[in-house]
């Protein structure tokens, strides 16, 4: 397997080809990785990313996929990850957090980097085997005149090391 290393920013714009989906066995390590065609990111592909910051828009990952990713993260997968933003269509914290130890954190406010963010969920703190924890919350952004959400983000921030 190839290992792509970089200390710089990488915005990945790929075309939807079978070569990317099936034959790309590389591990991606970037300081920041942005993927705008998130429908190409499957769970195995997500696990091949070990970037510090990842933003995936248009994702088709399910709550079960996110749950599996979190279970692996709590066991030490993706150790460099500090911030993960997934634009997904369905956020169900019951499914996302199933069989994972977590604590609802009502004491810490959620601050979004998106000025159009309108609604936040209470952060859920997940703990990794080594004591590091991450806070996960959902952000809803409304930008349409009819009030419908334009998109929903699930954000994971690693808060301790």
pLDDT in tens, 94-126: 888 899 988 888 776 666 666 666 566 778 888
Structure tokens given for 106: 């009502």
Q: What is the mean pLDDT of the chain?
A: 77
Q: Whose structure tokens read 């806070």?
A: 135
Q: Are 83 and 31 in contact (CB under 8 A)?
A: no
Count CB neighbours of 22 within 10 A.
8
* DSSP assignment letter at 152: E
Among 21-30, 103-112, 135-144, where is mean pLDDT lowest?
A: 21-30
Spatial distance between the Cα atoms of 157 and 100, rounded to a whole number of angstroms = 17
Q: Are 58 and 36 in contact (CB under 8 A)?
A: yes
pLDDT at 151 over 70: no
Q: What is the pLDDT of residue 5?
A: 47
Q: Which DSSP string corresponds to 6-41? A: -SSEEEE-----HIIIII---EEE-SEEEES-GGG-
Q: Buried b vs exposed e over 85-104: b needs ≥16 C-beta within 10 Å? A: bbbbeebebeebbeeeebee
Q: What is the pTM of this model?
A: 0.77
**Strands (DSSP E) along 17-145, which ranges?**
27-29, 32-35, 53-56, 83-87, 102-104, 117-120, 124-127, 133-142
Spatial distance between the Cα atoms of 73 and 93, rounded to a whole number of angstroms = 17
């Amino acid at each position: 397997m190839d290992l792509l290393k970089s200390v710089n920013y990488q915005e990945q714009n790929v075309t939807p080809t079978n070569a990317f989906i099936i034959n790309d066995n590389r591990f991606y390590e970037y300081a920041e990785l942005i993927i705008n065609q998130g429908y190409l990111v499957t769970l195995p592909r997500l696990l091949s990313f070990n970037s510090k910051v990842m933003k995936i828009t248009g994702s088709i990952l399910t709550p079960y996929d996110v749950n599996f990713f979190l279970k692996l993260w709590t066991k030490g997968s993706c150790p460099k990850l500090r911030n993960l933003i997934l634009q997904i269509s369905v956020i169900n914290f019951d499914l996302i957090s199933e069989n994972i130890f977590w604590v609802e954190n009502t004491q810490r406010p959620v601050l979004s980097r998106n000025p159009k963010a309108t609604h936040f969920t209470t952060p859920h703190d997940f703990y990794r085997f080594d004591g590091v924890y991450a806070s996960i919350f959902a952000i809803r952004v409304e930008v349409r005149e009819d009030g419908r959400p334009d998109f929903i983000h699930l954000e994971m921030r690693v808060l301790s090391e």
